[in-house]
Structure 1
Amino acid sequence: MGERVEAWTAPAGRTREMRTRSSSGKVRAALADVAAGWLLPVAAIAVWQLAGSLGWISPEFLPTPAAIAAAFADLAANGGLLQHLGDSIRRAGIGFVFGGGLGLALGVLTGLFRRAEYVIDPSAQVLRLVPHLAIAPLIILWFGFGEVSKVVIIAAGSFFPMYVNVFLGIRQVDNKLFEVSRTLGFSRSKRVSRLILPSATPQMLLGLRTSLAVSWIGLVVAELIGSTSGIGFLINEAKQNGQPAVIFVGILIFAIVGKLLDSAVKAIERRALKWQDGYKG
């Protein structure tokens, strides 16, 4: 006569409590990671402020964090800072859309078709090695000092990271997957949409992240040459007027906005690539 064994299940209240503890533990771990990331910058700023207050560093050479914060508050109160920031973001966005979009299209084309690679890739690789500063004067000579030249400079920089990563992502798809698709009788369009592009997504997202970063960096080059608005113009004007604190404000804005853009793309990566089982460290 067999014994009846009943599975024990935790009460609903106990289960809810365990979930709450687990979520709170995750929150504490996330806060600890954030605190660790801020430890070094906060310590550097404290030492910097102390050195400036004691007169160890000349304010004309390196203004204190307090002086930079005061310059930021003054610019924000005057209303000019938001206008300059808006102009910079608009230029970077338009340049990225044109450059990154073209890089995506040509990367897919050369990745899928070998004949297109023979025609496009050699020229693209040669142009990729030309620095921004080398072509910026030529672009200004062609398009003048208006908005078009700035957008072209940004687009030229954002094109290549997207193009290269999309091309490599498609070419690095495991060939065994193609053999499986032939066995299953996939059409070419189905093979591209369900096999190639999903497999190339990690590399394509890397291209998106790098292209956005280069767009933001290219914006500095574009605005430092013949601009009348934007954060780069603000930096250039502060250099001419001998205002190092304002220069640091511009640099910090470039750094903060660039970090926010990078973090946004990283969040998209985590959501889109949850299926990847990678090393977390």
Structure 2
Amino acid sequence: MSMKATVASPKIEEKRKKNLQWSTKARNAALGSIVPIILMIAWEYLSGTGVFPPHLLPAPSIIFQSLLNMAVDGSLWGHTGITLYRLFIGFLIGTAAAVVVGAGVGYFAKAESLFDPLIQAFRSIPSLAWVPLFILWMGIGEPSKVVLIAVGVFFPVYLNIVSGIQGVDRKLIEVGKIYNFSSLKLIKRIILPAALPSFLVGLRSGLGLGWMFVVAAELMGASTGIGYLLVYGQNTYSPELIISSIVLFAILGKITDSILKGLESKALHWQDTIERKA
């Protein structure tokens, strides 16, 4: 009997931890929804009493109805799908380029002296400044939009990788050299894993900036996408469409960031972090 209890206890403990994690997530989600709900109730009330003119700031119920209508006629899914596609491809390209360049610049001092000043100069260029150049080079098709998003994603990921690599404990590098690791193996086996926390933060920052660059990208002659809905709402003087597009950006941005945050928590479960106050 005692042997069965001993075998079962780890499973019970694991189940208890999972239930605790789910309850914590549910509590955090409930807490996080309090402020938005209060703001929407106040917004609805002020719109209903005429404090907010409906032709400038429609009530949340009108925004919801606009989104529902687009969902029913299918246009919502088409615009959302193409925007997510552009973001995903641009995010992958920008991240891949940042990993390659950032690893080299972070590890090799000569590479930093050679490339970093130019990269930092490019980083200060506003996103809209790239638009005419990319249209000239690649037209108004998908390549110019994807490349613009990749440019936006590149810089925060690059900066965090360089910072993470240069902050790696010197003792870990010395251990790799003792085992005669090549430079490539040293980067792959020691430096990149040690720089993982900074890299994951860079991914979340890059994703956030990628959403900002999506808007600029979809101003480049797009006929679909959430950014296109913004422009269409402006041209047709439809504030409910403009705000619906902004709400979509907020919701999708939050969902994608939550996905990366979940991956970050799983990848860094080994970290012994401080226990925050409730």
Q: Same fold (TM over 0.5)?
A: yes
**Unmatched segments (≥5 aa) in structure 2:** none
The answer on 1:157 being equivalent to 2:152 is: yes
Question: CA offsets, 1:58-111, max 9 Å, x none?
Answer: 101110010001111111111111111111111112222222211111111212
Cα distance between partner residues in 1 of 2:200 and 2:20: 30
Amino acid at match of 2:270: W
Q: Flag the structure with larger Rg.
A: 1
Question: CA offsets, 1:94-142, max 9 Å, x none?
Answer: 2222222111111112122222222211111100011102222232233
Q: Does the 8 A contact of 2:103 with 2:187 survive in 1?
A: no
Question: CA offsets, 1:20-56, max 9 Å, x none?
Answer: 6665555433322221111111011011111111222
Q: CA 1:95–1:18 in structure 2 vs 1: closer, same or farther (change >3 Å)?
A: closer
Aligned residue number for residue 126 of structure 1: 121
Q: CA RMSD in A?
A: 2.4
The answer on 1:51 being equivalent to 2:43 is: no
Q: Does the 8 A contact of 2:78 with 2:225 survive in 1?
A: yes
Cα distance between partner residues in 2 of 1:234 and 1:61: 17
Aligned residue number for residue 259 of structure 2: 264
Q: CA 1:119–1:41 in structure 2 vs 1: closer, same or farther (change >3 Å)?
A: same
Aligned residue number for residue 116 of structure 1: 111
Amino acid at match of 1:137: P
Please list, as runs of the form range in 1=range in 2, the aligned pairs for 1:71-150 lying within 5 A after superposition.
71-150=66-145
Match of 1:65 among 37, 48, 60: 60
Cα distance between partner residues in 2 of 1:109 and 1:209: 21
Aligned residue number for residue 201 of structure 1: 196
Question: CA offsets, 1:189-245, max 9 Å, x none?
Answer: 443232111101111111211112211210011112321111111111011111111
Secondary structure of residue in 2 paired with 1:145: coil
Cα distance between partner residues in 1 of 2:82 and 2:172: 46
Q: CA 1:230–1:56 in structure 2 vs 1: closer, same or farther (change >3 Å)?
A: same
Post-superposition offset of 1:10: 10
Aligned residue number for residue 35 of structure 2: 40
Match of 2:232 among 225, 232, 237: 237
Q: Does the 8 A contact of 2:164 with 2:199 survive in 1?
A: yes
Q: CA 1:191–1:99 in structure 2 vs 1: closer, same or farther (change >3 Å)?
A: closer
Aligned residue number for residue 211 of structure 2: 216
Amino acid at match of 2:111: A
- Between Structure 1 and Structure 2, how many residues are aligned? 274
Cα distance between partner residues in 2 of 1:87 and 1:96: 14
Match of 1:168 among 163, 171, 183: 163
Secondary structure of residue in 1 paired with 2:120: helix
**Unmatched segments (≥5 aa) in structure 1:** 1-7
- Residue range with higher mean Cα deviation, 94-103 or 22-31: 22-31
Q: CA 1:187–1:139 in structure 2 vs 1: closer, same or farther (change >3 Å)?
A: closer
| Aligned sequence identity (%) | 37
Relative to the length of structure 2, the TM-score reads: 0.89
Aligned residue number for residue 247 of structure 1: 242
Secondary structure of residue in 1 paired with 2:274: coil
Cα distance between partner residues in 2 of 1:273 and 1:19: 19
Post-superposition offset of 1:152: 2.0
